[in-house]
């Protein structure tokens, strides 16, 4: 039962939701909505004396505070051992301090995460995507079970952002997301250039194919270069610094109105991030006073803004998966066709890693997201009229911020885009009848045809790359299958393989999979092939030597095999034995839906 619907025996129904005062003539006047409308189910009267006793023990100072103060949950995705998340506990403490200074009760807790950077290419990566569901489950559980009146969530790594927004949509209580911020760029002395986490994987490909060299030829050995890159790619706290999945999701969510202005581009270790924590405490009070709840902000118009931002900034393919899941949880109709429609009309403008030169920290230096949104609103590409957590519209939020400097190089003018349309292409064809997601920046061309070279798991391709067995010359389409949501299980990212191909400069190769890619992946890549191999999708019966064509102009992905032959192959196909039969991944494989609907576990 929702605590908000719990019957109160000793007061009028409306008194649970409204503040009231007695006038001189003895009548009662009701005022603004009470900010403790959920927690009051436990704290008014003496219906739940045990609950109140425990709340006193947890820090409630007196009876007056017990009766009147709203309870704000502060949910950080904090854990040690990952730069994206290791500082979030301190951000949460800063928010808690300001919540308490404003006369509210703050209850800090955290949920779990998995580092994509640490698990990439290993069996640990299979646990990554399902953490999105665990994060959503955790925040929903604590918020509802503990009768919190509001929630401020502090995410850091990739799945954290969609996880907290899905939780917001479920409990639908006043909520704000404070993004943990991105990391500073690293610097390599051996390469004499800025580097980041993606550099590690691409350098590994060059290392394997013996093409890794420093700027000063012969001065450093390949091992010395690798040591230098590994030690300096990640110089401190914060999420991976390019327009990878974490920054793709944070910028999209800011464009939806669920964060304070500039949350998505404020660096993790900057003083501005600490100031944001203070502002979040004031903003959550506004959300409670004005009853600004997540589902009022999670609308088709706000998701449209998210798609525009994703295309303009060159965001991660993972955003397709996550935005579909966020929309599905909020009950907003969003499909793959919406992504293609927006991609057809929004130019790719940002010269940001992985395919470009700059990092999100550089974007902050030229005005950050408010300046970018101001530019896009002025161009009529972004909807500034949507409501936000500040109580103002998006346009009102960004109005005080400066416009982009005329001499900046990061965001290209509309007259000179990197690509006149978006980089995300939704492909269909006899290889992916239910859809696939391609990341085509135009730098790789728009069409690729090659012979299939099939790998039944990512580790098979990684082994082939490590041994230098992917040849140059003839065009090849590397097919990695049985890595979808059910087949992986867990739909692991394949940055290790895609980055190795880039580092080795294997330009004769495209990579397709029913798994997914990191936001740091680039090249001629197609993921999210649906139906996946594990459920008998056509990708399960591709054979070595089949000719595959990827056409981003016609939005097709096909193998040169007749429909009759595909059906004949499928009749003789048998699903492989599951690689995981117990534990959380087995449970996830049983519950998860397909990638074209966001890989959700709570489909209705």
Q: What is the pLDDT of residues 297-337, one digit of tens each?
A: 999 999 999 999 999 999 999 999 999 999 999 999 999 99
Torsion angle of C-alpha atoms 122, 127, 130, 131, degrees rounded to 10: -110
Give ∠ CA 317-294-424 in degrees, rounded to 5.
15
Give burial (CB, 10 Å; 0-12/13-18/19+) of 278.
middle
Residue reference for tokens 């939701």: 17
Provide the 10 A C-beta neighbour count for residue 300: 11
Can you give the pLDDT at residue 355? Answer: 86
Catalytic residues: 518
What gap in Å lies between CA 420 and CA 417, rounded to an integer? Answer: 6
| 407, part of any domain | no
Q: By the 8 A CB rule, do 440 and 423 touch?
A: yes
Q: Which residues pair with 510 in a beta bridge?
A: 477
DSSP string, 199-249: HHHHHHHHHHTT----SSTTSS-HHHHHHHHHHHS--SSSB-SSSSHHHHH
Unique residue bearing structure tokens 């929702």: 2
Mean pLDDT of 531-557: 97
User: How far is it, in rounded angstroms, from Cα 529 to Cα 77?
Assistant: 30
Last residue of a domain, one of 352, 381, 398: 398
CA 426 from centroid of its chain's CA atoms: 19
- Mean pLDDT value across residues 280-298: 97
- pLDDT category at 25 given cuts 50, 70, 90 is low
3-class DSSP state for residue 527?
A: strand
Distance CA 486, CA 323 (A): 20
Omega cis (within 30) before 257: no
Secondary structure (DSSP) of 298-346: SSHHHHHHHHHHHHHHT--THHHHHHHHHHHHHT----HHHHHHHHHHS
Q: Which two tokens stand for residue 95?
A: 């928010």
DSSP H or E run through 372: helix 368-378
Domain boundary residue, one of 45, 68, 91: 68
Q: Which residue has the higher pLDDT, 54 or 20?
A: 54
Output the CA torsion sign for 512, 521, 409, 162. Answer: positive
Residue 269, domain member (yes or no): yes
Same domain, 378 and 283: yes
In a domain, 533, yes or no: yes
Q: To the nearest whole number, what is the mean pLDDT of the chain?
A: 92
Q: What is the pLDDT of residue 17?
A: 43
Is pLDDT at 18 greater than 60 in this prediction?
A: no
Q: What angle do CA 276, 280, 283 make, to 5 degrees?
A: 135
Same domain, 47 and 86: no
Is residue 542 within 8 Å of 454, Cβ to Cβ? Answer: yes
Q: Looking at the structure, tell me whether residues 583 and 552 fall in a common domain.
A: yes
User: What pLDDT is recorded for position 20?
Assistant: 45
**Is residue 3 very low, low, confident or very high in pLDDT (cuts 50, 70, 90)?**
very low
Which of 347, 382, 398 marks a domain boundary? 398
Q: At residue 46, what are phi and psi to the nearest 5 degrees? A: -130, 30
Residue 331: the pLDDT is: 96
Domain match, 247 and 228 both: no
d(CA 483, CA 514): 6
Is residue 204 domain-shared with residue 273, that is, in the same domain?
A: no
Domain identity same for 164 and 251:
yes
Region of residue 438 (phi > 0: left; psi between -120 and 50: alpha; otherwise: beta): beta
- Residue 332 and residue 27: Cα distance in Å, rounded? 44
Residue 176 inside a domain? The answer is yes
| Residues 575, 437 share a domain | yes
CB-CB neighbours of 395 under 10 Å: 17
Which pLDDT tens digit goes with each residue over 368-397? 999 999 999 999 999 999 999 999 999 999
* Residue 31: predicted pLDDT: 52
Cα(1)–Cα(604) distance, integer angstroms: 19
Tell me, yes or no, whether 403 lies in a domain: no
The reply to whether 314 and 377 lie within a common domain is: yes
pLDDT at site 441: 84
Position 218 scores a pLDDT of 80
Query: Is 475 part of a structural domain of the chain?
Result: yes
Task: Determine phi and psi for 323, rounding to 5 degrees.
Answer: -65, -35
φ, ψ (nearest 5 deg) of residue 159:
-75, -10
Pairing of strands 447-455, 193-195: unpaired
475-490 pLDDT, tens digit per residue, is 999 999 999 999 999 9
Q: What sign for the dihedral angle of Cα 504, 506, 509, 510?
A: positive
pTM: 0.93
Residue given tokens 């904090």 in the structure block: 78
Q: Determine the Cα–Cα distance for residues 309 and 255; give it in Å rounded to an integer.
A: 7
Distance CA 168, CA 73 (A): 12
CA distances in angstroms from 360 to 217, 244, 365, listed in the order given: 31, 10, 9
Q: Tokens 């060059």 — which residue?
A: 206
Residues 560 and 480 in one domain: yes
Question: Quick check: 253 pLDDT over 90?
Answer: yes
CA distances 557 to 428, 432, 435, Å, are: 6, 7, 9
Burial 73-99 (b: 16+ CB within 10 A, else e): bbbbbbbeebbbbbbbeebbebbbebb
Total domains in the fold of the chain: 4
Same domain as 91, residue 63? no
| Residue 419, domain member (yes or no) | no
pLDDT at res. 26: 55
Q: Contact, 22 vs 57, CB < 8 A?
A: no
Flag whether pLDDT at 19 surpasses 80: no
Considering only CA atoms, which of 283, 285, 290, 263 is closest in space to residue 274? 263
Q: Determine the Cα–Cα distance for residues 551 and 428; give it in Å rounded to an integer.
A: 10
Q: Residue 335 has which token pair?
A: 């499909």
Contact 119, 139 (CB under 8 A): no
Residues 8 and 29 in one domain: yes
Domain that holds residue 123: 71-183+238-398
pLDDT, residue 256, reads 98
Q: Are residues 98 and 170 in the same domain?
A: yes
pLDDT computed for residue 27 by the predictor: 52
Residue 324 domain-assigned (yes or no): yes
Mean pLDDT of 453-481: 93
């Amino acid at each position: 039962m929702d605590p908000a619907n719990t019957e109160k025996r000793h007061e009028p129904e409306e008194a649970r939701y409204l503040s009231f005062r007695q006038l001189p003539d003895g009548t009662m006047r009701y005022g603004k909505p009470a900010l403790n409308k959920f927690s009051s189910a436990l704290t008014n009267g003496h219906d739940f004396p045990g609950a109140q006793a425990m709340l006193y023990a947890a820090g409630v100072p007196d009876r007056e505070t017990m009766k009147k103060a709203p309870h704000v949950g502060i949910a950080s995705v904090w854990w040690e051992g990952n730069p994206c998340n290791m500082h979030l506990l301190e951000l949460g403490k800063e928010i808690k301090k300001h919540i308490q200074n404003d006369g509210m009760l703050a209850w800090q807790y955290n949920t779990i995460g998995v580092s994509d950077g640490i698990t990439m290419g290993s069996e640990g990566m299979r646990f990554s995507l399902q953490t999105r569901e665990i994060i959503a489950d955790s925040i929903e559980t604590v918020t509802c079970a503990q009768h919190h009146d509001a929630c401020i969530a502090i995410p850091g790594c990739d799945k954290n952002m969609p996880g907290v927004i899905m939780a917001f949509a479920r409990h639908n209580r006043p909520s704000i997301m404070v993004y943990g911020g991105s990391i500073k760029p690293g610097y390599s002395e051996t390469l004499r250039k800025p580097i980041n986490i993606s550099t590690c994987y691409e350098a590994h490909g060059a290392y394997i194919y013996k093409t890794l060299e420093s700027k000063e030829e012969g001065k450093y050995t390949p091992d010395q270069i690798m040591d230098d890159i590994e030690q300096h790619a990640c110089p401190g706290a914060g999420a991976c610094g390019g327009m990878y999945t974490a920054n793709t999701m944070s910028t999209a969510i800011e464009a939806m109105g669920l964060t304070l202005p500039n949350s998505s581009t404020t660096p993790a270790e900057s003083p501005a991030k600490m100031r944001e924590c203070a502002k979040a405490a004031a903003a959550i009070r506004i959300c409670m006073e004005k009853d600004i709840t997540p589902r009022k902000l999670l609308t088709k118009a706000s998701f449209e803004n998210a798609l525009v931002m994703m295309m303009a900034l060159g965001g991660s393919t993972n955003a397709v998966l996550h935005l579909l899941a966020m929309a599905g949880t909020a009950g907003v109709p969003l499909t793959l066709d919406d992504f293609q429609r927006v991609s057809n009309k929004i130019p790719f403008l940002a010269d940001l890693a992985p395919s470009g030169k700059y990092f999100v920290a550089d974007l902050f230096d030229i005005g950050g997201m408010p300046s970018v949104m101001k530019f896009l609103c002025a161009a009529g590409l972004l909807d500034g009229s949507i409501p936000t957590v500040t109580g103002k519209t998006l346009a009102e939020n960004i109005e005080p911020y400066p416009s982009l400097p005329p001499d900046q190089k990061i965001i290209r003018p509309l007259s000179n885009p990197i690509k006149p349309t978006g980089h995300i292409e939704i492909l269909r064809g006899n290889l992916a009848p239910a859809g696939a997601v391609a990341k085509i920046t135009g730098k790789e061309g728009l069409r690729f045809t090659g012979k299939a070279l099939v790998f039944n798991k990512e580790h098979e391709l990684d082994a082939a790359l490590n041994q230098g067995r992917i040849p140059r010359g003839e065009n090849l389409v590397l097919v990695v299958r049985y890595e979808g949501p059910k087949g992986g299980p867990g739909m692991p990212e394949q940055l290790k393989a895609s980055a190795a191909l880039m580092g080795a400069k294997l330009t004769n190769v495209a990579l397709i999979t029913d798994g997914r890619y990191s936001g740091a992946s680039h090249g001629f890549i197609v993921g999210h092939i649906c139906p996946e191999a594990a459920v008998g999708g056509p990708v399960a019966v591709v054979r070595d030597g089949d000719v595959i064509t990827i056409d981003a102009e016609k939005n097709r992905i096909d193998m040169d095999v007749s429909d009759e032959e595909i059906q004949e192959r499928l009749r003789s196909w048998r699903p492989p034995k599951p690689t995981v039969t117990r534990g959380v991944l087995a449970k996830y494989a049983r519950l998860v839906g397909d990638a074209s609907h966001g890989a959700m576990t709570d489909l209705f």
